[in-house]
Structure 1
Amino acid sequence: MTGDDRWGCELLLCLANPNGWKSVSECHPPVEKYIDCSTKRHNPCSMPGCPQSGEGNYAQRNDGRYDPCMLLGDGYEEAPRGYLLQGVLSSSEFSRSGNRYYAKKPSKYNYDGEYESCDSDGHCTTVSSKACVRPADYQGIAYERYSCKDSDGYSRTCYRQVLVYSAISWQNAQPPRAIDVYIEGKLYNRVHY
């Protein structure tokens, strides 16, 4: 093989390596060539294909900042948007009053992107978050106390619902350029660059 066919096959093999493309010295030239040409401002190159790879085996560019939860395996999926807390409702991390549970520790907001979080004093920061959960780990709903302002501007105590899971995998935002590798038609790996 020569030209783009060879380059495309080298890219597919290198990017599918479970140890990462950087672990094999022969992978550096073809992957670095693609990264360099795909990031050009004018006329960026496209991902070359590998004709010998067979149906369903290919790589394509993706601009996602977070990896799909399914790459974690073991039944992980995207968590619902909103406030989440890792714990077990029957533990000492929660108090119970009647049929309601109240969180003793703060939750974290799941958004799958960037958002601005502001405290009661008006200090704001940009936060990135994405959570992955397994439905089997769902514990139920708890309520979290937080400070809010009423219609007259006075601070008061409010409560919000928080979804509780025994295990939550939080992802950090990655560089926005990525390559998705598909093996037998299923997403196998995402490589950020």
Structure 2
Amino acid sequence: MKNLLVRAVLAVVGTAASYLISESNVRADDWGCKVILCLSSPGGPLQYAECRPPIQKLWRELAQGHSFPICSGVGFRASSPAYEPYYCDEGYGLTTRYGDSGREASCISRKSQTVSNRECYSDRAGGILSSRWYWNGSERQCRRYVTRRPHIRSQPHYVDVIIDGIGRQRVWY
């Protein structure tokens, strides 16, 4: 079944590429059309072995500052390359602040969380009350917004690709 699907994808790539390179259209780069097809795969751009070489070439080209490849006749747009080296776990938002060693990135919980009572203090940090006492039935609990170190991405650069009929996809490289 998998081989049949791979052959179908390759047939579509070949058909799309030959159509897009016809004399009536602007000459399209076959590699660009393969990239678009692989990016539109529901299982991800590297789902099929045949997609790995064009996608890996895409990452190399973008990392060297080259523009996104073209594929005439297919409605798509790509943003300018951007850089986002950090990310947070679900339920946390990325923020930057100035600390002892300059500008620092951190993750802060979107909702206050119950913490140990020794972490409850009443000072104000940046105008925001850092922790508060709450009553949970007959028990007093401390709640505050928790901060954590962010994760570092192995591929921190990205472009947003919008493919007509499929939607927006962020491509990390």
- Report which of the two has the higher share of strand: 1
Structure with bigger RCO (C-alpha 8 Å, 6+ apart):
1
TM-score, normalization by structure 1? 0.44
Which of structures 1 and 2 has the bigger CA Rg?
A: 2
Q: Could you say which structure has the higher helix fraction? A: 2
